[in-house]
Structure 1
Amino acid sequence: MRNNRPARESRPPLPGGLREMLAIALPMVVSHASETAMIFVDRLFLSRLGTVPMSASMAGGLASFMMMTFFIGLIGYATALVAQYLGAGRKEICARVVTQTLFVALLAYPLILSGRPLVHRLFAVSGIAPAQLIQQQAYFDILLYGAVLVLLRTCLSSFFSGIGRTRVVMLSALVAMLVNIAANYVLIFGRFGLPALGIRGAAIGTLLGSFCALLVLLAAYLGRGTRREFEVVSALRFDGAVMKKLLRFGSPAGVEMFLNLLAFTLMILLFHSHGPATATAVTIVFNWDMVSFVPLIGIQIGVVSLVGRYLGAGRPEVAERAARSGLKMGWAYSSVILILFVFLPGPLVTIFAPAAPDAVYAQAAPLATVMLRLAAFYVLADAVMLVCSGVLRGAGDTFWAMCISVAMHWLLLPVLYLALKVLRLPPQTAWLVQIFLFLAFSVIFYLRYRSGRWKFLQVVGEG
């Protein structure tokens, strides 16, 4: 009798179900968690040197990433495009999408570097303390010179995410994390006879990790199996039709990422200009907020991949099931973060205490503890917003998603300025106002998803 019963494990996963979503999204969650760990450990190591280098690395790192975001968003849409071509049974075009993204990346690099003087000017007028400003510029410059590594990684990661081979992306991110942490330990503190480079060592370690991750992705992309299955060699040419689709649907995502991160960077600079204690508190809070938020992007990529694939195959009901699976994963992860933020904010803040007694940290720690506990209000809403926006992007509803997301971030900025500079409210009150705005925009994304319009959009059906 037992032998006649099919084993539960042998059943194929339900299309769009939780098992399939886990198979796609979990490696991406690990991948983004690895990227988070790189940044987190950078700031943790730098916090041992004092509050100034830690705060400088946050503002400088955000600014360097901001300079790349338009092109990262544009190139990153290749995930949805590759997924839809794969779902439509047109494998030969998937690698052509990658080639077009490589062209974009190489053309983008000199444009990104040309914006360096503008960011230096922005730093200078933001009112940041001179001691932080010097280190912030040094960290920003080194990371900006390595921007091409990030762009090329995005090209190849988007391909593997789109075809569902997310373990390759996970492996590359794990390699980047391990190399980065080891290099940072050696370069920041000057181990094994090398000079202690401080914040410059942290930036160099980040570039070394990114370079090693790119090598892993290249090896997988140029491997014999991938070359044959997706006709990689013959795809190394310009394709006007594919480039047009990439620019049409990817540009809104790129504009969205750039404008959002610009607004977010200005927000951070505004908090930092409030004083060293506020700068330290906000840096600590956003280090943990990154732990809460960035792994959810891995779930979002899984949603984009599966929704794009099943809509490309003409199966909107399965795409909707994939969206629900993404929400379950997001809520499960965010629930753990919520518990940590509510019950353990003090110990989470103490992790970033400098090695030597520091008066600025002593002022910042109580403020950071309050702000971290308040952050628990929006962690579940973050999961809803990211999953719903992933559904819209996978379906091609990128322009609407861009408009709402940009409006949200640019509304946060004047509200924060009014609270801190005009009304002179304490930082924790200004932070609470920002949280309520986060919650409101999460509701708007959910309502757009619930409308169901995204099920009837068409991206790869023409041409």
Structure 2
Amino acid sequence: MKQNSNYKTKLNQNESENFNENTAPQENLTNDNKVSFNTIIKITYPMIISMFSMNIMIFIDRAFVAKFNLTEFAATMPASNLATTIGSIFSGIIGYCAVLISQYYGAKRFNKCSSTIWQGIYLSLIFSILLLVTSPFTSGIFKLMGHSGNLLNYEVQFFYFIMVANSIQLFQTTFSCFYRAIGNTKIIMHVGIISNISNILLDWLLISGNLGFPKLGGIKGSGLATVISCIIGLLLYGILLNKGIYKKQFSIFSNKQFNKDLCFKLLRFGIPAGIQTFVSMGYYSFLLLIIGKTSEFNLSCANIAFTIEGISVLPVIGLATAVSVIVGHERGAKKTDTIIDIVKKSAIIGSVFSFIIIFIYNVFPETLISIFNNGEDAAKFLLINNYTVTLVKITSIWILFDTLQIIISNVLRSIGDTKFMMKIFTIIPFLFYILLPYALCNVLKLSLLWIWIDLFIYTLLMLSLVLVRLLKGKWKSINVI
């Protein structure tokens, strides 16, 4: 990918001249020639804890809904994934604020960091309006896929709740990008824990009507809890941004004017990243719709297996996100020789975590699955348990490969290799998430087990592609800032 020559020459000279070392926010986390394990862990562990708290929240949230009503539970994952898919192209663009800010931070161009935040806020406002206006039309996808009855009604209801939550989270993403990009991941951890605890508490109060609260049921109670917890998180981020240290060192409120060049940069690199996120989430959502078309039983098994998989995926995403920040600092400081070493060390950390998860999945699968038992239909849940155990064990096989793929993919995106990532994540998942699953389950009428085998092969292939791309080093010619 060739960088536009305008971006090579339009450096903000005033910014460099006005920079005062005494007001530098903090030393870059990567001042040494090599980045140590300690450095990676220092910036990574708050992100892992934050993601793990989100994982626990989602796990408990789904368990609350499952215990209330299994049909409502079956509706939650297709609805939430479709809503998240539609919003993901916008969140992918906004999320690229972290890449720009981390590289500007590594280059010590701090005014650009704060200006990028405001461009993210302006774009979030536009995108959130688009999400809300189009939601009555996009909700028709469930009916188009052949869903009907109570399942369809619950899916549409939950879809609307998550679309509202996604609109709020666009602004959350902008703020969290700033804290993440400057290495202050503890703030993200604290806000995430508070928001997720709030969500769990509100689930308990609203789904079953505890402590005198109205009994809203699984879909309405969980949906409203999600929206309120998102608002809490957004308010916390906004309050913390008003601290004097950020106003003084980054001139947060002095750089709020619209910046055409920065917005264009966000769109130029962010749109491919957003499209990649969109198609990845979209394929996953359609996979669930394909599974749901076979039977409610298969959908319940898949929902449980994928929810359990989240125990491993979200913390790994936290690790990969934090590592991409370190890589961004290095790239901004023009220290590209350390990047491969960072990837190796983060891969070792991720592998250790993966082996722990593999052990849990193979030794305690029934315990994990039993959390979703509402106790009302023992015979039905016994069948679900017996089938889902096999799915969970197959999932454990691809955990390690998926961990490495996620880390390398995030590193490539953080360097600006978004067009390549968009291409492979648009083409290959279409085969493994749409065509093959549809043929296996709806044409050949094979069991759900074959989709899990299909996903295992997919994980190996994607890891091979991103690893080859990283080692070839074409990303070294990409200059984001």
Q: Fold-level match, TM-score > 0.5?
A: yes
Distance 1:203 1:81, change over 3 A: same
The residue that corresponds to 2:360 in the other structure is 340
Q: State the distance in 1 between where 2:129 and 2:175 align.
A: 20
The residue that corresponds to 2:80 in the other structure is 61
Whether 2:235 is the aligned partner of 1:218: answer no
Whether 2:253 is the aligned partner of 1:233: answer yes
The residue that corresponds to 1:265 in the other structure is 285
The residue that corresponds to 1:102 in the other structure is 121
Aligned residue pairs, count: 449
Equivalent AA in structure 1 for residue 441 of structure 2: L
Question: How far did 1:129 drift?
Answer: 4.6
Other structure's SS at 1:146 match: helix
The residue that corresponds to 2:315 in the other structure is 295
Whether 2:470 is the aligned partner of 1:449: answer yes
Q: State the distance in 2 between where 1:129 and 1:21 align.
A: 48
How far does the alpha carbon of each residue in 1:190-223 deviate from its partner, in whole angstroms, 9 at most, with x for none? 0111221012011111111111111121112121
Does structure 2 conserve the Cα–Cα contact (< 8 Å) formed by 1:50 and 1:358?
Answer: no
Question: How far did 1:451 drift?
Answer: 1.4
Whether 2:448 is the aligned partner of 1:423: answer no
Distance 1:452 1:26, change over 3 A: same
Question: How far did 1:321 drift?
Answer: 2.1
Q: State the distance in 2 between where 1:16 and 1:118 align.
A: 49
Equivalent AA in structure 1 for residue 478 of structure 2: L
Q: State the distance in 1 between where 2:106 and 2:477 align.
A: 16
Q: State the distance in 2 between where 1:439 and 1:404 align.
A: 14
Q: State the distance in 2 between where 1:211 and 1:14 align.
A: 41
Whether 2:391 is the aligned partner of 1:404: answer no
Q: State the distance in 2 between where 1:241 and 1:396 align.
A: 17
The residue that corresponds to 1:6 in the other structure is none
Whether 2:223 is the aligned partner of 1:200: answer no
Out of 306-315 and 431-440, give the one that drifted further. 431-440
Could you tell me which of 332, 338, 343 is aligned with 1:323? Answer: 343
Q: State the distance in 2 between where 1:13 and 1:311 align.
A: 14
Residues 46-445 of structure 1 aligned to structure 2 (within 5 Å): 46-198=65-217, 199-412=219-432, 413-445=434-466
Q: State the distance in 1 between where 2:120 and 2:345 align.
A: 29
Question: How far did 1:319 drift?
Answer: 2.3
Unaligned runs of 5+ in 1: 1-11
Q: Normalized against structure 2, the TM-score is what?
A: 0.91
Does structure 2 conserve the Cα–Cα contact (< 8 Å) formed by 1:105 and 1:151?
Answer: yes
Question: How far did 1:125 drift?
Answer: 2.1
Q: State the distance in 2 between where 1:241 and 1:208 align.
A: 35
Does structure 2 conserve the Cα–Cα contact (< 8 Å) formed by 1:14 and 1:20?
Answer: no
Other structure's SS at 1:425 match: coil
Question: How far did 1:30 drift?
Answer: 1.2
Q: State the distance in 2 between where 1:220 and 1:331 align.
A: 34
Distance 1:14 1:359, change over 3 A: farther
Question: How far did 1:434 drift?
Answer: 2.1
Does structure 2 conserve the Cα–Cα contact (< 8 Å) formed by 1:277 and 1:361?
Answer: no
The residue that corresponds to 1:32 in the other structure is 51
Other structure's SS at 1:295 match: helix
Moved >3 Å (runs of 4+): 12-15
Unaligned runs of 5+ in 2: 1-30
Question: How far did 1:88 drift?
Answer: 0.9
Other structure's SS at 2:375 match: coil
Q: State the distance in 2 between where 1:357 and 1:421 align.
A: 27
Question: How far did 1:310 drift?
Answer: 0.5
Q: State the distance in 2 between where 1:148 and 1:120 align.
A: 16
Q: State the distance in 1 between where 2:52 and 2:427 align.
A: 28
Q: State the distance in 2 between where 1:63 and 1:378 align.
A: 24
Q: State the distance in 1 between where 2:263 and 2:336 align.
A: 26
Q: State the distance in 2 between where 1:258 and 1:85 align.
A: 26
Question: How far did 1:120 drift?
Answer: 2.2
The residue that corresponds to 2:3 in the other structure is none
Does structure 1 conserve the Cα–Cα contact (< 8 Å) formed by 2:132 and 2:167?
Answer: no
Other structure's SS at 2:68 match: coil
Q: State the distance in 2 between where 1:175 and 1:14 align.
A: 37
Q: State the distance in 2 between where 1:239 and 1:177 align.
A: 34
Question: How far did 1:293 drift?
Answer: 0.8
Q: Over aligned residue pairs, what C-alpha RMSD do you find?
A: 1.5
